Structure 1
Amino acid sequence: MTTQQDAPGRAPALPLEDRREMILDAVVPLLVAHGSDVTSKQIAEAAGIAEGTVFRAFGDKESLIRAAAEKFFDPETVRNGLRAIDPDDPLDAKVAQIIAVLRTRFTGALRVMAAVGREPQMQPVRRPHLENSDIIERIFAPDAARLAWPAERITHLLRLLSFASSIPPVSEAATPFTNDELAQLVVHGITGTNGVPA
C-alpha cells in the first residue's frame, strides 16, 4: 500500500526548523517591499508552499513578521554583502558598492521597523560597526596609500551618507542621488576635478 509519505514524486517533508528558515528567506524581501501589508498568499507563493503550511510553521502572521524582522536585522546580512565586494575593483566602484549595501539595509530597515512598530529586540553584538570597518579596511587595502582617512572614519562617513540618502523625504526627491553619484562625491569631493589637481 502506497502512503502519502512515500508516494512517488512527492518531496520528503522538511524538518520544522528548515521549513521555517525557507519561509523566512521568502518573507524578508516581501516585508521590505510591502511592510505589514504582505499577505499570507504572497508569502506562500514566494515560498512555494500552501498557506496552511505558513501558519503551521509560525502560528500567526504577527509571529512570522516578527521572526522575519529579526532575520532582517541580523548584522551578518550586511557583512556578507560587504565581503562580496572585490578589493581589486576600482576605488569608485567599491565605494558605490558599499553605499549600495548600506542604502539597501537602511531603506529596508525603515520599512521593516514601520511594519513591526519598532526594531525587534536583538542580542547585543560586540563591536558591530568596528567589524564592518575591519571588512571595509580589507576592501580598501589596495588603495591604502591614496586614502586620507582610516577605515573606521571612512565607514562612519559612508554610513552617514547612506542613511541620510535612505530617508524617504531625501531619497524620494525629484532627482535622488544614485549610488555612483554618492561614490563620486566621497572619492572626488565636489570640485569636479575627478581627482586631477586644478
Structure 2
Amino acid sequence: MSADDRRASIIAVTMPLLREKGRVVSTKEIARAAGIAEGTIFRVFDSKEDLIDATVHDAFDNSTLLVELAEVERALCLRDRLAAAVAIMQSHLEGVFALMTVLHASGQPMRPPKHDGDAHKRREEATAELDAAFVELIGTDAELLRVSPRQFIGYLRMLTLSSVHPMLGGESSTPEELVDVLLEGALDRTALPPATTPATISAPTPATISAPTPATPSPTTSRKKT
C-alpha cells in the first residue's frame, strides 16, 4: 500500500471514531479499528493531533462528493437525478455537522489549518467544482428551467443545507420533497379556483388601483336653469 493510500485508509477509519468520541479518541482505538499496529499511525502522521486535524479537514473535502455525483445515473429523469444528488449532499452535510457538534461539545472545536494562506481560494475552487458537477448533472434539461442553471443550483444548495442544519430546527425534508418544491413551487394549484392562475392570485388590475369611480351628478346640479 502506498503512503497516500495508507494515509487515506487511516483517515477513513478515524472519521467515525472522531464523530463518536471527539478528540479524546486514542490512537490505540484507531489502530485497532484499522487493523494496524499503533506505531504505523506515527509513521504516517507526526502526532495524534495531526491525524485528527487531517481527518476534520478531510470531512470538508469535495472529492468523494464529486465522485458520488458523477455516479448518478444520467438516464434518470431530471427530478430523479436531482433527488439522488440531494440525498448525496444531505449525507455529506450531516456527517460534517455531526463532526462539528461532537468537537464543539468536547470543548475542542475545529482549529484552522496551519500556514494555510490559500484556504479561501481553495473554498472558492471547491464551490466552483461542485457547481460544475451539478451543471453537468442537469445537462440539456437546463432548457426546462425558468432560471439559469447556476441560479437554480444556488437555490438547491440553500434548501439542501437548511434541510439538515442542526441549528435551524425545522422539519426535515426528504430529497424528493425538496426537489418537488424547488421544481414545482409551494403553491397547491389544485386548491385554486378553476379560473385562477398564479399570476392573478394577488395582482389587482390597474383600473382597480388608480381609476376613481365617476361621481353621479345630483338632480339639482344636473337640472338646467330656466
2:110 is aligned to 117
118-127 or 24-33, larger mean C-alpha shift = 118-127
**Residues 62 and 130 of structure 2 are in contact (CA less than 8 Å); yes or no, is this contact kept in structure 1?**
no
> Residue 132 of structure 1: which of 130, 133, 153 is its match?
130
2:148 is aligned to 150
Tell whether 2:23 aligns with 1:23: no
> Residue 180 of structure 1: which of 176, 182, 187 is its match?
176
Instruction: For 1:119 and 1:107, locate their aligned partners in 2 and report how far apart those are by CA, in whole Å.
Output: 21
Higher Rg of the two aligned structures = 2
Q: How many residues align?
A: 181
Q: Which amino acid aligns with 1:188?
A: E
How far the C-alpha of 1:103 sits from its partner, in A, is 2.1
Secondary structure, in 3 states, of the residue corresponding to 2:173?
Answer: coil
Instruction: For 2:6 and 2:79, locate their aligned partners in 1 and report how far apart those are by CA, in whole Å.
Output: 41
Q: Deviations over 1:79-133 (max 9, x none)?
A: 2222222232122222222222222232222333453424545643254323322
Percent identity, aligned pairs only, is: 29
Unaligned runs of 5+ in 2: 104-108, 198-226
In structure 2, the CA distance between the partners of 1:180 and 1:151, relative to structure 1 (3 Å rule), is: same
Q: Which amino acid aligns with 1:54?
A: I
Structure with larger RCO (C-alpha < 8 A, sep 6+): 1
TM-score under structure 2 normalisation?
Answer: 0.65
Unaligned runs of 5+ in 1: 1-13
1:103 is aligned to 90
**Residues 164 and 172 of structure 2 are in contact (CA less than 8 Å); yes or no, is this contact kept in structure 1?**
no
Q: Which amino acid aligns with 2:63?
A: E
- Correspondences of 1:2-21 after superposition (within 5 Å): 14-21=1-8
TM-score under structure 1 normalisation?
Answer: 0.73
In structure 2, the CA distance between the partners of 1:95 and 1:59, relative to structure 1 (3 Å rule), is: same
How far the C-alpha of 1:186 sits from its partner, in A, is 1.4
Secondary structure, in 3 states, of the residue corresponding to 1:140?
Answer: helix
